[in-house]
Structure 1
């Protein structure tokens, strides 16, 4: 186990004029489970591959356990990779796949078998040790790939979208297993995903990347409750936070003919900043359908999930908003209703030009 430190680490691909990872700074604690998340092209997989030694560090440095990894070959970094495509040998049994790296290291057959059996017990694979990968389900193959990493007893696990090939139900089950297993082993883990729900449910801390740059690095609840900018606010959460840029009035923000009130300290902050418009953010569960107050909207879609419903609406000014509702009392398509902030609802304010958080 080890700490990991990215110090202004940058990577640029040959033939490109844009950094794939731009001056990344992260301090990952010993035994921590950190998730790198972001949209396609954000640099998350490149950052992981830099850590694993599969991509060059063009500027800055990466340290594992206090040792600078610049120029150190991947095989000498004491890390184990788990890939999206499992990368198993089809002609070898589960036990042979799991123990192959140890065999290359010259570990004795008895020691290999002991380590493989211990890992198989952890992963509920004992009965499959003599099977070939082609006889396993996708979830079982992914557990074999995990077992191959575990038997090496590395300082660091690097996981590059390991659940992408699994169906939705199996993804939920397997991510729970991976998170629980990591906590039992206590091995420092860096996990890459494009799925923000996966990131929020698995990571001790989550690093949100965009265009190669770190947007925010925090615990999942902190990302959700206090996003650093409008991008993080819109990326974290499902459905996404409602984000709309609106004119500022003396009492709040203007939506068509209606005014959504803001707190007095928020209005003072906006006045002091000299802004005429502001990007307002509010999460769907912090809006309610009401008989009065708030703003008038027309229902475009009701997404009934059984335990809850999400009501997609638009106002006369073209503003689109999503609100959570009781599915038994949700409005119908094309109904005209009013949306207002719940009494305990939180309104987030962002600079409309930079996207940076104001309040």
Structure 2
């Protein structure tokens, strides 16, 4: 086990071009499970490959256990990598696949068998050691690939979208298994995914990247509750946060034909930032829903019309638009069987004072 540090680490594929990874700073603690997440082209897989020694480090350093990895071959970094492609040997049994890296190292047969049995016990593969990969499900094959990494007892596990080839149900169960396994083993793990739900449910901390740059590195709760900028706010959460660029008014902001009153603490932050317009973020669950017929005419609510209702049993999502602007969508989370129907006119009121404010130019949190 070891601490992993990205210290201003950069990767540039073409001289003069935009870096694929730009001065990345991360300090990953010994035994921590960290997820790198972001959209396609954000640099997350490149950063992982830099750590693995599969990509050169063009600037800065990457350190594992305090040792600078610049120029160190991948085989000498004491890491084990799991890819989305299982890459199992079809002619070998599960046990032989898991033991193969130890065999290549010259580990004796008895020790190989001991390590394989221990890893199989952790992964629930004991009953499958004599089977060939073709007799296994996709999730079981992925566990074999992880077992092959575990038996090496590396300082660091690296996982590059290992669940991408699994169906939705299998991904949910397998991500739970991976997180539980990592907690038991206590090995520093860096995990790459494009799926923000995976990131939020698995990682001790999550590093969100965009265009090769780190946007925020925090716990899942802090990413959700205190996004550092509008990009983080819009990326984290499903459905995404509602974001409105609005003019500032006397008691808050003007949204559509209504004035939305804001708490004094939020108005004070807007005033201190000297903004005449603000990017306001409201998560779907931060709305209460009333009917337009029950509106008191005070202007404190936001008038909208429902376009689509998604009934999910315990919850429902209302996809609506502002009454006076079909181009301005609003998403609302309500309790299941809310009674709202397509075409209904509703009034939305924020239920929390913990709304999110961003500078409309820079996108940074106010």
TM-score interval, normalised by the smaller of the two chains? over 0.9
Query: Residue 123 of structure 2 aligns with which residue?
Result: 123
Q: Could you tell me which residue of structure 1 aligns to residue 239 of structure 2?
A: 239
- Structure 1, unmatched stretches of 5+, are none
**Runs of at least 4 residues of structure 1 off by over 4 A?**
none
| Alpha-carbon separation, structure 2, partners of 1:43 and 1:332 | 42
Q: Distance in 2 between matches of 1:95 and 1:65?
A: 31
Whether 1:11 aligns to 2:18 is no
The C-alpha deviation readout for 1:191-215, integer Å capped at 9, x for no partner, is 0000101000000000000000000
Match of 2:361 in 1: 353
Report Cα offsets for 1:144-177 as digits up to 9, x if no partner: 0010000000000000000011011110100000
Give the superposition deviation at 1:345: 4.8
Question: How is 1:200-239 mapped onto 2 (pairs within 5 angstroms)?
Answer: 200-239=200-239
Q: Any residues of structure 2 matched to 1:268-287 within 5 Å, and which?
A: 268-287=268-287
Matching of residues 175-194 of structure 1 within 5 Å:
175-194=175-194
Question: Which residue of structure 2 aligns with residue 329 of structure 1?
Answer: 338
CA contact (8 A) 2:311 2:337 kept: no
List per-residue Cα deviations over 1:106-150 (Å, max 9, x = no partner): 000111011111111111111111111111110000000010000
User: Following the alignment from structure 1 to structure 2, what is the Cα–Cα distance between the partners of residues 180 and 210?
Assistant: 29
Structure 1 CA distance for aligned equivalents of residues 214 and 71 of structure 2:
24
**Alignment of 1:295 onto 2:292:** no
TM-score (norm 1): 0.97
Provide the residue aligned with 1:308 in structure 2.
315
Alignment correspondent of 2:82: 82
Contact 1:302 1:330 (C-alpha < 8 Å) held by counterparts: no
Q: Is the 8 A contact 1:309 1:330 kept in 2?
A: no
Calculate the TM-score normalised by the size of structure 2.
0.96
Q: Secondary structure at the match of 1:319?
A: strand
- Aligned twin of 2:61: 61
Moved more, 6-15 or 34-43: 6-15
8 Å contact 1:250–1:267 — kept in the other structure? no
Q: Quote the RMSD (CA, aligned, Å).
A: 1.1
Point out where structure 2 has 5 or more consecutive residues left out of the alignment.
Answer: none
Number of residues of Structure 1 aligned to a counterpart in Structure 2? 357
Q: Which stretch shifts more, 205-214 or 125-134?
A: 125-134
Residue in structure 1 matched with residue 253 of structure 2 by the alignment: 253
